Each structure stands twice: as structure tokens, then as C-alpha cells.
Amino acid sequence: MTFDARPASNLLWHAWQLGAVIGDLPVELRPTTREQGYAVQALLESRSSRSPAGWKIAATSVAGQKHINVSGPMAGRILSERVHPDGSMLSLTDNRMRVAEVEFVFAMTQSLEPRTDPYSLEEIMAAVGDLYLGIEVPDSRFARFHSAGEAQLIADNACAHVFVLGPRVMTPWREINLAAHPAHATVEGRARRYERDGVGANVLGDPRIALTWLINELSACGVTLAAGQFVTTGTCMVPLEIEAGDTVLADFGAFGQVSCSFLS
């Protein structure tokens, strides 16, 4: 029997719009493979008035994979209406994950269409135009996202929610080892302040490798990564615990800074 992705997509979309949570999808609607999960996710595009602004990668570290009980990374769509500029004030209403993730972001100038042979890192970097900085604020429509499983989490857009697209990196970054490049984050609220460090190697060993994984994952699904879209490559440090009233500042040294605040 052919899997019908529409009922599951309807449930997840309505939960997202209402800020509601659901348990597991009903058994008769539930995707059981990654392919079925991506089929549910793909229907999100028709809900938006614009093409996706970009793509995200979830669970790019072993710790992250263990945290949500998945076997590997997952790709998700970042909808255009959920992208915010640097310095934005964001709402945490109905957000259950309550974390911010500091990320390297690649902007594409050439489209990469599906093909049989995997794309090489060199081919992919030739299609990249610029490097940006970003902060992802993920969330899930599942009340028990730790145990939903990767097929359902992929259907849930790999926990995509809102995204802050920061400045373009003006430093000649192609000459720099991104795996070794550090990032430092500060979270400051009304009654607390803490700091955390990260490095590009925390993202599948190198943000460029993460980008390569994403494009080949899309290619295997028959999806084109379009020119003009961006890919945010996953958190380069342990996710930052956030609450209303906090400001997050991510400092990438010579690459610049990106920040956002959360409504109190």
C-alpha cells in the first residue's frame, strides 16, 4: 500500500500554527522510514507563499543524536516567513525545546540538482557564494520529541522553527580551516549570565562536510538545492539553554557576531 503523506503533514502543520503539541502520529498515518518522513516534510512547501529560504541540519553531533535518539543527521526546510534578521526579538511562547544553536551558514550561488553519483566537497564548495553566521531556535511539534524517532522527527521538519540570519562574513574565509575556527556565546538574562565555547569541528567534523552531507541527502531524495538558498550546518557548541528575557550573543572572532533576544 502506498504511503499517503498528506494526513500526517496536515496534523503537524496545524500543530505548528497553533503552537500545540501532539503525541505520536496515529499509527495509520505514521512514517516508518526516513523516506516517508521526508515525503511528509516536503508538503510543507505548498503551505508557504514562498519557496524555502534554506535548509537546516539537525543532530550533527553524536551527543545530539543520542539526545533525540536518532541514528544520524536529518535535513529540514527553513521557511522564508520564519527567518529573522540579526538582533531580532523573538518569542518563546509555546516553544518547548528552549535552546539556541550557534551555526555556520553557507549561501548558494549555483543550484545543485539530484543525480546518481554523490557530489564531492570540491564541487559543492564551488557552488557556494558566501558564508554567513546564524542562530537557530528549534522546536518540535511532538510532546515527547526525545522518543518520537527519526522518521517522525524528519516529518516534523527536523525540528525547524525559527532562524536568525546574521551578517555575511567579510574575512576571506575560504582560506581558513573552518573545523578549527572557534565560536564563543554569551547568554545574559535578568538574573543570570553564562558563556559557552564551540568550534567548527563539532559539526560533523567540519561545516563543509556537513554541507556536503546535506546536499547529497537532498539529492538522494530527488530535491534540488536552489541558487539563492542557504544551508545552516548545525550547532557548533552544546545548545544554549534560553528563557524569556535572555539575549544571546554569538561571537565568531574575525568572522563577526550575531545576536537575538527573547521576549520577557
Is residue 1 included in any domain, yes or no? no
The domain in which residue 175 lies consists of 6-262
Cβ neighbours for 163, distance < 8 A, ≥ 6 positions apart = 53, 54, 56, 78, 82, 83, 84, 134, 135, 136, 137, 232
Show the CA angle centred on residue 183, arms to residues 177 and 186, nearest 5°: 175
Q: Identify residue 117 by its one-letter amino acid code.
A: D
Global pTM value: 0.96
- Torsion on CA atoms 210, 216, 220, 223, rounded to nearest 10: 90
d(CA 71, CA 68): 9
Is residue 195 included in any domain, yes or no? yes
Helix (H, G, I), strand (E, B) or coil at 22: strand
- Do residues 160 and 78 make contact, with C-beta atoms less than 8 angstroms apart? yes
pLDDT recorded at residue 25: 96
Is residue 50 included in any domain, yes or no? yes
Domain count, the chain: 1
d(CA 176, CA 215): 22
At 86, give phi and psi (nearest 5°).
-55, 135
pLDDT recorded at residue 61: 80
48 strand-pairing partners: none
| Local confidence pLDDT in tens for the 264 residues of the chain | 689 999 999 999 999 999 999 999 999 999 999 999 999 999 998 888 888 999 999 999 877 888 788 889 999 999 999 999 999 999 999 999 999 999 999 999 999 999 999 999 999 999 999 999 999 999 999 999 999 999 999 999 999 999 999 999 999 999 999 999 999 999 999 989 999 999 999 999 999 999 999 999 999 999 999 999 999 999 999 999 999 999 999 999 999 999 999 997
Q: How far is CA 152 from CA 38, 55, 79, 106, in A?
A: 9, 18, 19, 27
Q: What is the CATH number of the domain that holds 32?
A: 3.90.850.10
Helix (H, G, I), strand (E, B) or coil at 125: helix
